[in-house]
């Protein structure tokens, strides 16, 4: 019963707080105006994802102060989400209001990642039945990976609803794997509560979006997913490769696009619109406009098509492979390669990271 109450309150508060943040953004002029690289046509308020961040961190703080039983077995995770996640969200909130230098943002992200790895450690990573890598030195690798994940989540938040639905999909699939493997219900509870918080925001962010997520929330989501992966792979019945697989759609698109832009000699750190999902959205937009739809209706329909196609890939392809990776942990790396091959092929096929689209 308590789970239902917490989930309901999380959803309701997230919806209401997003509404308040939308009015705040409109009054303060915090708007994303259309540009040559934009996927929207009208100036739209930004920063609405801060709603689910505040609700979720508020729940964690409340549980820590007044109901520690809710955090039994996951206290280090809660601490990392409050400290590291709060730090990432704070710097993102400031960046949403005034442009911060990339170097300063990177320094803060690096600090948050170091805090995370320092407090929760790193999981053992199996590359087959005869090779398992573990030890404190893995933290040297996991820190930059965590920084990359939180930044790529920001890169991938470029069309209506995509970052929100991807986070919900990944967290729900991971929770399903944990439940099937009879893991502690507390970790599933806190992953689910984040899902309900994001869902409350998604009601405002669904195409055509009335407000965008913003850097504070996209960075927080990427950081949280990475932290959940590191922590659950150590303490619960889910393999680290399962998380790698579940995150495949975003990781493959962002990584392939970055690699192609670097190889082309571009300034990879500058904003662009060359991700596979952005290209697919433009292609669908052109098709729907050719069919006679207005620009705004065509844009919303194109975004819905891309977002739902991504959901279908997650549920029909990545989730079953992620479950197999946890069932047969010695085969996790091989299953991850299998999962990524068609994703990378899709990125190559649509011309992600190039001007050939």
| pLDDT (tens digit per residue) in 81-107 | 999 999 999 999 998 888 888 889 999
* Start-to-end C-alpha separation, the chain: 51
Distance CA 257, CA 279 (A): 11
Kindly report, residue by residue over 174-220, the tens digit of the pLDDT: 999 999 987 668 899 999 999 999 999 999 999 999 999 999 999 99
List the chain domain ranges.
2-33+41-350
Give the pLDDT of residue 124.
85
**Strand, coil or helix: 284:** helix
pTM of the model: 0.95
Q: How confident is the model at residue 40 (pLDDT cuts 50, 70, 90)?
A: low
Q: pLDDT for 261-276, tens place per residue?
A: 989 888 777 778 899 9
Lowest mean pLDDT among 56-60, 67-71, 94-98, 283-287: 94-98
H-state helical runs in the chain: 2-28, 50-66, 75-80, 86-97, 102-120, 138-155, 162-180, 185-205, 215-235, 240-246, 248-263, 276-290, 295-313, 319-327, 332-350
Distance of CA 266 to the CA centre of its chain: 25
């Amino acid at each position: 019963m308590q789970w239902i109450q917490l989930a309901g309150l999380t959803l309701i508060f997230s919806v209401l707080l997003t509404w308040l943040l939308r009015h705040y953004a409109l009054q303060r002029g915090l708007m994303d105006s259309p540009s040559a690289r934009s996927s929207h046509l009208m100036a739209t308020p930004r920063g609405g994802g801060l709603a689910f961040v505040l609700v979720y961190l508020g729940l964690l703080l409340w549980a820590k102060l007044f109901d520690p039983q809710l955090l039994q077995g996951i206290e280090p995770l809660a601490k990392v989400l409050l400290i590291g996640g709060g730090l990432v969200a704070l710097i993102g909130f400031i960046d949403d209001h005034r442009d911060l230098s990339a170097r300063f943002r990177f320094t803060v992200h690096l600090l948050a990642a170091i805090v995370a790895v320092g407090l929760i450690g790193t999981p053992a990573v199996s590359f087959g039945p005869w090779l398992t890598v573990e030890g404190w030195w893995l933290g040297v690798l996991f820190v930059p990976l965590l920084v990359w994940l939180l930044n790529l989540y920001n890169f991938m938040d470029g069309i209506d609803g995509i970052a929100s639905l991807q986070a919900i999909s990944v967290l729900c699939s991971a929770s399903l794997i944990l439940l099937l493997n009879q893991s502690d219900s507390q970790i599933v509870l806190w992953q689910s509560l984040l899902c309900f918080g994001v869902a409350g925001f998604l009601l405002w962010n669904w195409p055509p979006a009335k407000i965008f997520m913003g850097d504070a929330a996209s960075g927080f989501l990427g950081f949280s997913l990475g932290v959940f992966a590191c922590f659950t792979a150590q303490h619960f019945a889910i393999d680290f490769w399962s998380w790698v697989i579940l995150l495949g759609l975003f990781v493959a698109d962002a990584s392939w696009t970055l690699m192609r832009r670097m190889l082309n000699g571009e300034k990879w750190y500058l904003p662009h619109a060359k991700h596979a999902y952005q290209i697919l959205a433009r292609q669908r937009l052109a098709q729907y406009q050719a069919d006679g739809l207005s620009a705004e209706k065509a844009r919303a329909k194109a975004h819905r098509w891309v977002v739902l196609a991504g959901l279908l890939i997650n549920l029909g392809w990545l989730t079953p492979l992620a479950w197999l990776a946890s069932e047969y942990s010695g085969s996790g790396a091989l299953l991850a390669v299998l999962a990524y091959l068609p994703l990378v092929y899709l990125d190559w096929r649509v011309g992600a990271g190039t001007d050939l689209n």
